[in-house]
Structure 1
Amino acid sequence: MTHPKSIAVLPFVNTSPGKENEFFCDGITEEIINALAKIEQLKVTSRTSSFFFKGKNLPLAEIGRELGVANLLEGSLRVSGDRLRISAQLINVSDDSHFWSESWDRKLEDIFAIQDEISLRIADKLREHVGHLNIADQLVQAPTGKVEAYRYYLQGKSLFNKWNPEHANQAIGYFEKALQIDPDLIDAHTGLADAYSFLAVAGFAPREIAWAKAIESIQRAKALDPQNAPLNYLLANQAFFTEADFGQSMQFARQAIASKPTYAEGHQFLAFLFMLRDDMKKAGEHLRYARSIDPLNPETKFYQAYFLYRSRSFDEAEVLLEQLLEENPKSLPALITLIYVLLKTGAYDRAEALIADRNPDEIMPDEKLGLACLLRVMQGAAEEYPALLTELETNASGDTSFQAHAYLFLVYCALHREDQAFSVLEKLFQKHSSILLLTFGDPLADYLRGSSRFEAYRQRIYADITPTVASPRRNSAELSEREAEAYLRKLADFMETESPFLDPSLSLRSLANLLEMHPNQLSWLLNEKQGKNFNAYINRFRVDHFKKLLADPRNTSISLIGLAYESGFNSKTVFNTVFKKETGMTPKEFHKNSGLSD
């Protein structure tokens, strides 16, 4: 069942002349996503899944179902000189109804104030429609005081999101331009680190050089804000892939989630770490959350496939990996994991075909050698594998060939050579081999699980650092019973004596101001003590007022919709919908049955 407090922000449409402001449009969409994601009770679809629908003319109901959300936000942006115009509207997915829309005309230099204003307005209208949300007084903090630096950063971010080496290198140039204007723009530092680490891990740049540049940017970002969520995600990756330090990686990943509980990438990485440690329950919890907010991200799908593989659900993993490779035939993680699945299930011919079909530049030489050797061993080809094993052992004798180390370990496991397998495993500690860190508990190494040494090594390899447990926070909106009763009396008196519901522009925030309450407190009070969201609560008064006006003989010359407008409604559609929900009849039926229409 779709949670009512859920929303996806669709990519805003660029209505500016030309396409040069497309990146700016995408940036504003992403900032609104990030702002709304700060609201703890609201489920917000992540950027990757929302942007999956960019440029696709699909029915909103279909998009909503695909993303599993109850509400959608769509909008447009137009830049003209030093001014911009933004329009936005909220849609209820279940009936395709638009329940709020608004436009803003502002100076470009006010971009961060605009983003905060829009995000707060959207959050307010959602709260009035779906129920209580705790909303901070500010959702968007200006990352820089220099708009030009921000524009360069957004251009870099837009390019990097294409996830290929050409655009990643272009993105680096824009991040560097942004930092020339504002050296303290932390998002540009983490953007540089992300781009360089991507090039390093994917093999598109010299590993040591690219990681050195990534680490330099990470350290600069750390000096600016050590709690920053993307920074800690990068630190988790660095600790894992360059230092093979599982405990540090886990600690940084947890910090990323503590800083930003809705950070999908952080949940994915935590799920991955828990999979390695065989804690499939916790891995599943983080993965389910990541899937709930980022269901269409290929990376989320891969982690799900990898979870199935590590859970020994090989048939299910195979189906999902085949889908991933159909969508992206160059997905190396999906390809390697699928080969592993086929080896585990004895589909050796298919595994051999996948290995042979790859271009030399798609799989690193030692990985291809290791796969070929492992395949022959598992096939029992006693005449063929010895030469491959000798070559693999020679390559693994070096200090830096981590792929050779990992595959030699797996081959020794397949050959049931326990002592030699554990001997190779020592290179994990001596040479900080992240690939051995990844391989130790792999299903292809299941033979070692029967060893008396296995558990000791598992504890040593996946040593955790005890996390700091935050003390439970009291809901900032929650009132004591005495406070709640006092405010309920004050609210009831105010509604009876002042009739604020007659103002069609009344909002939860404005009513809270009139009552001298924080909006979060009023939202909590209505939902917890009255069992209604703001709109339902106010519209009940409007319906009652409409009935009184209808019964007054002096109003016989006024139309039904005229009386509705005098009761505080500002939409015929909303009035008809609310009235029927409250009374079970349409306004016309009620009028006729009341005997007042004669």
Structure 2
Amino acid sequence: MNRSSDPENEYFSDGITEEIINALAKVEALKVISRTSSFYFKGQNIPLKTIAERLNVYTILEGSVRVAHGQVRITAQLVLAEEDVHLWSETWDRKLENIFAIQDEISLLIADKLREQLGHFEIADSLVNKQTDSLDAYQLALKARNYFNRWNPEDVKKAIELYEKALQIDANFSEAHIGLADGYSFLGTTGFMDGELAWSKAVEHTHKGLELDPKNPGAYYLLANISFFLECDFAGAAKHTQKAVELKPNYPEGQQYMSFLYTLKGEFSTAEKHLNLALALDPLNQETLFYKAFLLYRQEAYSAAKAVLEDLLAKNPKNIPAFTVLTYCLLMMNDAEAALHLFETLPQDVVIPHEKLGIGCLAYTLSGDEEKAQTTLQQLIEEARSPMAFQAHSYLFLAYIALAKFDAAFKVLEQALAQNSPIFLLSYTDPLAHALKADSRYPKFHQQLYPAINATPADKKQALLDASTAAAFTKKLLDYVLQEAPFLNPELSLRSLAERIEIHPNQLSWLLNTEVKKNFNEFVNHYRVEHFKTLAKDPSNSHISLMGLAYESGFNSKTVFNTCFKKETGMTPSAYIKSQAS
């Protein structure tokens, strides 16, 4: 939440939040809800428990950002949503110029607290990479991203201007190069900029961004788009998407794209697996939900796809892909009139070139209006003479199939493939082209267009300590805890305990969960409960309240104390005291 008096700082607050989300998403074992779904509830007075249910999450991070006079104050608290238990809260007051260090500090602390509560997973020593030394360039990039995330041509063009300004300040700012490539690929794909120029710029900035940051998953995602939309290379698109997911498994865009590729190939069960991963990470994102509708459409579940698409359009009337696929659904449901009417309602500033003509030709052909079908077909033939008229090529191909002119359809396909046209990666397996499956030539082109995707084998997790070292450190840990009683310090963390017994935090986390069979909180709170029992049995402490004894035992929360005590003993603290007195 933006707590600054200047509403212009909204983009900065959102940007900080997104950076922390991205940092936490680098921790493979964590399911971190992505930006769009997280921001869905922004500014709404909704109970945390309800939000957690909608997002299907266990914990919620909430906070605020205030910027003034070169200073930034960030507050954050981590809450167990179901029980409304606050795991941790913190406030940072820092100079704005140290924003990258703050983001890293916050991200690491959150990841640590989650590991202490949930069990073992590995955390890198740093989660935030400093992309630029210029705060001005960074702020311009945050503002640009805010515009880009609105997903319409006008705002994407504003984003491009801001990214260009950021690069004028720092030419080696990799995220600005990736942002520019994203913007140009959007305009090139949707036809709101000359395709050749847009894609040449997208390629240039993608490669520059990758050169500056070779492990940027967004760069590989863009390479996948370049392979698909520019080079008509399905295998290349799959390879680059797999690399993006390998670098960042919790990357919804990568999982969406894998689902998209498998959907086109017709391997729907694998497509569903990737889609479900994307939905788990970003369940309310319009793009994720579009891919859900797209898969339903390709599975010929037209009514179900239609319902999702209509909901998307109710929220965003300029959602171009949703309009197109909804039109296809109506055509496949034998409602050509509704398809034509739908396209008439589409705002003219988002109509993709040749789309209206192509939809009209298909609708007239499928509805049996021969005169209008022939008129629009001739227009499509003329438009398709241009080598860059990809949409016209696609609709001419589909129109010939609807007319059962398969030789003509294959001729269009062969000419387009000779020019490396990517559009048939989308069209060839579309339900509107299913009649072509009866032709003996179909399997050959299917294999040519959609080669096998080589699944990446999952890495086997290695033990972080060998058996003898694990035994030695287990003894060292237990001896230290019994002799020094570090659990009496309510601020004790896994990281600080690891430092005291001279072991890496990742190794201590593994040791606790694998050898001791407890997560950090269970381990520490066990000793706190035992210490409380000892204090409670001592008559000299009879004047101290139960919570007073709990605080002396290292607890700093009544809720946590009561929960842990009952889990350890099966009874409440007061019931335990009574049982000891009897």
TM-score scaled by structure 2? 0.95
C-alpha distance in 1, partners of 2:271/2:282? Answer: 16
C-alpha distance in 1, partners of 2:231/2:572? Answer: 69
> What amino acid is aligned across from residue 534 of structure 1 in structure 2?
F
> What amino acid is aligned across from residue 292 of structure 1 in structure 2?
A
Q: What SS is found at the alignment partner of 1:84?
A: strand
C-alpha distance in 1, partners of 2:379/2:258? Answer: 36
> What amino acid is aligned across from residue 480 of structure 1 in structure 2?
D
C-alpha distance in 1, partners of 2:31/2:542? Answer: 47
1:352 equivalent to 2:334? Answer no
1:583 equivalent to 2:547? Answer no
Preserved CA contact (<8 Å) 2:145 2:159: yes
Shift of 1:348: 2.8
Aligned in 2, Cα 1:28/1:362: closer, same or farther, shift over 3 Å? Answer: closer
C-alpha distance in 2, partners of 1:570/1:54? Answer: 30
> What amino acid is aligned across from residue 349 of structure 1 in structure 2?
E
C-alpha distance in 1, partners of 2:229/2:140? Answer: 29
Pick the aligned partner of 1:472 from 459, 476, 491. Answer: 459
C-alpha distance in 1, partners of 2:343/2:161? Answer: 36
Preserved CA contact (<8 Å) 1:250 1:464: no
> What amino acid is aligned across from residue 516 of structure 1 in structure 2?
E
C-alpha distance in 2, partners of 1:366/1:159? Answer: 27
Aligned to 1:393: 381
Preserved CA contact (<8 Å) 1:246 1:464: no
Shift of 1:33: 0.6
1:247-266 matches, within 5 Å, as: 247-266=235-254
Preserved CA contact (<8 Å) 2:59 2:81: yes
Aligned to 2:289: 301
> What amino acid is aligned across from residue 341 of structure 1 in structure 2?
C
1:428 equivalent to 2:416? Answer yes
C-alpha distance in 1, partners of 2:573/2:255? Answer: 50
Aligned to 2:199: 211
For residues 27-50 of structure 1, the C-alpha deviation after alignment (integer angstroms, 9 at most, x for no partner) is: 211111111111111100111111
C-alpha distance in 1, partners of 2:215/2:492? Answer: 39
Aligned to 1:512: 498
> What amino acid is aligned across from residue 333 of structure 1 in structure 2?
P
For residues 558-595 of structure 1, the C-alpha deviation after alignment (integer angstroms, 9 at most, x for no partner) is: 22222212211122332222222222332222222321
Aligned in 2, Cα 1:357/1:181: closer, same or farther, shift over 3 Å? Answer: closer
For residues 432-459 of structure 1, the C-alpha deviation after alignment (integer angstroms, 9 at most, x for no partner) is: 2222221011111111112211111111
Aligned to 1:493: 479
1:429-444 matches, within 5 Å, as: 429-444=417-432
Q: What SS is found at the alignment partner of 1:64?
A: helix
Shift of 1:527: 1.9
Q: Which moved more, 1:146-155 or 1:178-187?
A: 146-155
C-alpha distance in 2, partners of 1:236/1:479? Answer: 38
Preserved CA contact (<8 Å) 1:428 1:437: no
Q: Which moved more, 1:203-212 or 1:115-124?
A: 203-212
For residues 397-452 of structure 1, the C-alpha deviation after alignment (integer angstroms, 9 at most, x for no partner) is: 33222222111111111122221111110123122222222101111111111221
User: RMSD of the TM alignment (CA)?
Assistant: 2.0
Pick the aligned partner of 2:527 from 525, 528, 541. Answer: 541
1:560 equivalent to 2:560? Answer no
Aligned to 2:37: 49
Aligned in 2, Cα 1:429/1:589: closer, same or farther, shift over 3 Å? Answer: same
TM-score scaled by structure 1? 0.93
C-alpha distance in 1, partners of 2:520/2:566? Answer: 18
1:375 equivalent to 2:363? Answer yes
Q: What SS is found at the alignment partner of 1:86?
A: strand
- In structure 2, runs of 5+ residues without a counterpart are none
Q: Which moved more, 1:37-46 or 1:241-250?
A: 241-250
C-alpha distance in 2, partners of 1:111/1:342? Answer: 50
Q: What SS is found at the alignment partner of 1:43?
A: coil
Shift of 1:314: 1.7
Preserved CA contact (<8 Å) 1:227 1:255: no
1:118 equivalent to 2:106? Answer yes
1:267 equivalent to 2:255? Answer yes
Q: Which moved more, 1:37-46 or 1:243-252?
A: 243-252
> What amino acid is aligned across from residue 195 of structure 1 in structure 2?
G
C-alpha distance in 1, partners of 2:519/2:312? Answer: 42
Q: What SS is found at the alignment partner of 1:21?
A: helix
Preserved CA contact (<8 Å) 2:67 2:73: yes
Aligned to 1:4: none
1:89-238 matches, within 5 Å, as: 89-238=77-226
Aligned to 1:285: 273
Preserved CA contact (<8 Å) 2:190 2:352: no
Pick the aligned partner of 1:572 from 554, 558, 562. Answer: 558
C-alpha distance in 1, partners of 2:213/2:544? Answer: 62
Q: What SS is found at the alignment partner of 2:8?
A: coil
Pick the aligned partner of 1:330 from 307, 318, 326. Answer: 318
Pick the aligned partner of 2:441 from 453, 461, 466. Answer: 453
Q: Which runs of 4+ in 1 moved over 6 A?
A: none
> What amino acid is aligned across from residue 210 of structure 1 in structure 2?
A
1:32 equivalent to 2:13? Answer no
Aligned residues: 582
> What amino acid is aligned across from residue 312 of structure 2 in structure 1?
L
Shift of 1:359: 5.1
Aligned in 2, Cα 1:365/1:492: closer, same or farther, shift over 3 Å? Answer: closer
**Percent identity, aligned pairs only?**
51
Shift of 1:350: 2.0
C-alpha distance in 2, partners of 1:465/1:591? Answer: 64
Preserved CA contact (<8 Å) 1:413 1:421: yes
For residues 155-213 of structure 1, the C-alpha deviation after alignment (integer angstroms, 9 at most, x for no partner) is: 21122222223322222222122212211110001111111222222233333333333
Q: What SS is found at the alignment partner of 1:594?
A: helix
For residues 40-94 of structure 1, the C-alpha deviation after alignment (integer angstroms, 9 at most, x for no partner) is: 1110011111111222221111111111110000111222323222111001011
1:311-330 matches, within 5 Å, as: 311-330=299-318
> What amino acid is aligned across from residue 114 of structure 2 in structure 1?
L
1:241 equivalent to 2:225? Answer no
Preserved CA contact (<8 Å) 1:376 1:385: yes
- In structure 1, runs of 5+ residues without a counterpart are 1-12
> What amino acid is aligned across from residue 121 of structure 1 in structure 2?
L
Q: Which moved more, 1:68-77 or 1:275-284?
A: 275-284
Shift of 1:111: 1.4
Q: Which moved more, 1:181-190 or 1:403-412?
A: 403-412
Preserved CA contact (<8 Å) 1:244 1:428: no
Q: Which moved more, 1:372-381 or 1:401-410?
A: 372-381
